[in-house]
Amino acid sequence: MASTSHLILPTAVRAEFSRRREGPLFFPATIRNLPSPRRLLPHPLRASPPTLAAASTSSSLQALIFDCDGVILESEHLHRQAYNEAFAHFSVRCSVSSPKPLYWGSDFYDELQNRIGGGKPKMRWYFKENGWPSSSIYAQPPLTDSDRETLIDVIQDWKTERYKEIIKSGAVEPRPGVLGLMDDAKGAGIKVAVCSAATKSSVVLCLENLLGLERFHGLDCFLAGDDVKEKKPSPLIYLTASEKLGVSGGNCLVVEDSVIGLQAATGAGMPCIVTYTSSTASQDFKEAIATYSDLRNVRLQDLELLLQKSLLAT
């Protein structure tokens, strides 16, 4: 039986114990029901000091926000394919002397998509720089703003439907580590969102097919290019997400793949990590708090520590 020499006993119990100490050792019910000595007198060294991660989890990382194209799936080559097929379908020619439809090569498209976010802004910029095209939509290059917007809308709509067909083919998979990181965040009570500059219908299709319906409908916020008036690098989409999530920018962590997305995130006051692709690897990501080739070995605890260090540095 355990020794009682270190017990701190109430006065009445101590008297009872003294009265009976000449006889056989006896513990009244009062003593038997006392907490153990360890619980009465906790040793100051027994309490483990809180770790950095434990101290920061509840106060720092409250929302994890993912871009779609380039982050959830490596999709830019698929978008380029769909654009080129749309240009061929509508016989889009920026020069009347050119016998072939417009074609965006991979090197040019990498530069274009890293400079301008969103499909319609890409075409609008390109046609302003290279001349508005003739096409099966308008035999002559459109002259009015209204006709030019109609041209872009028709091409974009066809391109979007073609892109959907590519995604539906089942040949596209999410980038490594994305689904696990989303699941870990949700399991830890951290909000998860997706903010993409792409057309909403194409993003919905991507997310339903790559995340699965349960993850997609479990998102705490989902915004696409149709939901905001300004595309990335404008911070508007992330500012809107912050409002919808009810989380301040400093407690959000954005996952992007390009300098355009990085600029949008930092412009909204949100720390950002970059998971670059082959088409964005050479960009300057000095404003990111970390860069990765993919997310397969990135843990939620790593991101919590990165965010806390970022907040301490500001």
The residues assigned a catalytic role are 67, 69
CA atoms within 13 A on the CB side of 199: 19
Indicate the length of the chain as a whole number: 314
Cα 146 → chain centroid: 36
Q: At what angle do helices 236-245 and 259-267 cross, to 10 degrees?
A: 50
Q: Are 235 and 195 spatial neighbours (Cβ–Cβ below 8 Å)?
A: no
Sheet order of strands, 191-195 included: 221-223, 191-195, 63-66, 252-256, 272-275, 290-292
- Residue of 71, 135, 126, 130 whose CA lies nearest to 101: 135
Omega cis (within 30) before 233: yes
Q: Which two tokens stand for residue 24?
A: 């056989």
Max CA pair span of the chain: 118
Q: Where are the beta strands (DSSP E) in the chain?
A: 63-66, 191-195, 221-223, 252-256, 272-275, 290-292
Which tokens is 227 given?
Answer: 């939901």
The token duo for 168 is: 């539906």
The torsion angles phi and psi of 146, rounded to 5 degrees, stand at: -65, -45
Contacts of 290 (CB under 8 A, 6+ apart): 273, 274, 306
Q: Residue 69's beta-bridge partner residues? A: 73
